[in-house]
Chains A and B, each alone.
Chain A
Amino acid sequence: MARKKQNQTSDATPTSRGKVIFYTVAALLALAGLAEAIYLTVQALTGETLLCGGSPDCFKVLGSSYARIGPMPLASLGALAYFSVFTFAVFSAFGYARTQTFFRITVWLMFATTLWLLFVQAFLLHAFCRYCLFSAALIFLLTGLVVATPGQSRTS
């Protein structure tokens, strides 16, 4: 255990100012996504998704079978993913090399999921939910950050 801890701390290397800003921005975006995902999870758990502020399109999307995996609201997985991105971004900002790889992998997985969900909204449900579009925008921004700064993990 002590050895493992020593390995983790030895991962931490001094980071450039640019990287710190990059991961701070990413962490803030993930925080915004986390807040929204928590709100949607609570809405789904309390049954308020059915009401959806009186918006038929929102109801059509969030009330659909695509918004759940079994008994679990998809938003709860989103919350978990955003929290992971936040965690990896924070650790990366402090110079942990391994978390930078995890950060990139998680963002790419979320990007792929977002593309699928946009496809579902556009072609299967024929309706868009503003909460989902906000989340998609955040993930596009995160992906943009990852793409715009190639080789982050390799340069550390």
Chain B
Amino acid sequence: MNRSLPIIIVAIVAVVAIGSGVVLYRAKSQPVLTAPKEASSPAGKAAEPIQSRGPAGAPVTLEEFGDFQCPPCGRFSEPINEMARAYKEKLRIVFREMPLPMHQHARLAAEAAEAAGLQNKFWQMHDLIYREQAQWSTATDAHVIFNSYAGVLGLDLTRFNKDMSGPQVQERLAVDAARAKELGVTNTPTIFVNGTQVAGTSLNPGGVRAAIDAALNQKPQK
């Protein structure tokens, strides 16, 4: 018994280790979501994107749910811009606001971006906010910083400040929140390519590019 005891102990630990790893993996693996193209829910108009760039008829649509204060989203910002430049008219990019409650200034940042959008400067503000994420994320008064960004972008500051808390911006955030709820999105960044979610394991610039390439290579269905 004494001779086989260490083997038994090691075998038990090996089984428990592998088993717990598999259980944890299954628990954490999110099912791959599929976005319906047609609006089918009460939040139907949420399917119509508010912030998009690239031709509406592009063969591939990348839909991102992002939080301006989430570091991984910030890290994705420039690679997605590079994809926009690389794929040109083949790619349409849609950005959905998903400010997470755990991030102190995320909602304010989303409001600033949407308010800039009302003056046709959404993407410029989007890029600026992500680029300067480390600065305003730890600021006590992020509003002042977003105001300075609006100034840099040459926005009408009076209108910008009014719009940030105005009904139009709040409605835009509500529409994106409804879209997230409709699709079951809970984390950021979450990216869909032609309606299919990019799995967590491929959630890196290379993985997203591969998903775009795969969508482009798909034969059109007759």
Contact = CB atoms under 8 A, between A and B. Distances in A.
A70 interface: no
Interface of A: 9, 12, 31, 34-35, 38-39, 41-43, 45-48, 50-52, 54, 56, 59-60, 63, 79, 83, 86-87, 90-91, 93-94, 96
Interface stretch (B44-52, B152-160, B199-207): B199-207
Interface string B190-212: 00000000011111100000000
A90 B6 contact: yes
Given A52-B71, A54-B70, 15 more contacts: A34-B13, A38-B17, A39-B24, A46-B25, A46-B30, A47-B203, A48-B200, A50-B189, A50-B203, A51-B70, A54-B71, A54-B100, A59-B71, A59-B75, A87-B10
Nearest to B29: A46
Nearest to A5: B3
A41 B21 contact: yes
Interface residues of B, number: 32
Given A45-B201, A46-B28, A56-B71, A94 B17 contact: no
A24 to B, nearest CB: 11
A94 B28 contact: no
Q: Give me the 7 closest cross-chain CB pairs, A-B, nearest first.
A: A47-B200, A50-B72, A46-B28, A56-B71, A42-B24, A94-B6, A47-B203
B28 A42 contact: yes
Contacts of A42: 21, 24-25, 28
B6 A51 contact: no
Contacts of A34: 13, 17
A43 B199 CA distance: 13
Given A59-B72, A94-B5, A47 B201 contact: yes
Nearest to A94: B6
Interface in B175-200: 187, 189, 199-200
Nearest to B75: A63
Nearest to B187: A51
Interface in B20-77: 20-21, 24-25, 28-30, 70-72, 75
A38 B3 contact: no
Contacts of B70: 51, 54
Contacts of B202: 47
A28 B202 CA distance: 35
B193 to A, nearest CB: 15
A63 B72 contact: yes
Contacts of B86: none
A124 to B, nearest CB: 17
Contacts of B10: 86-87, 90-91
Nearest to A60: B71
B151 to A, nearest CB: 27
Nearest to A91: B6
B13 to A, nearest CB: 6
8 contacts: A34-B13, A45-B25, A50-B200, A50-B204, A52-B71, A91-B10, A94-B2, A96-B6
B13 A31 contact: yes
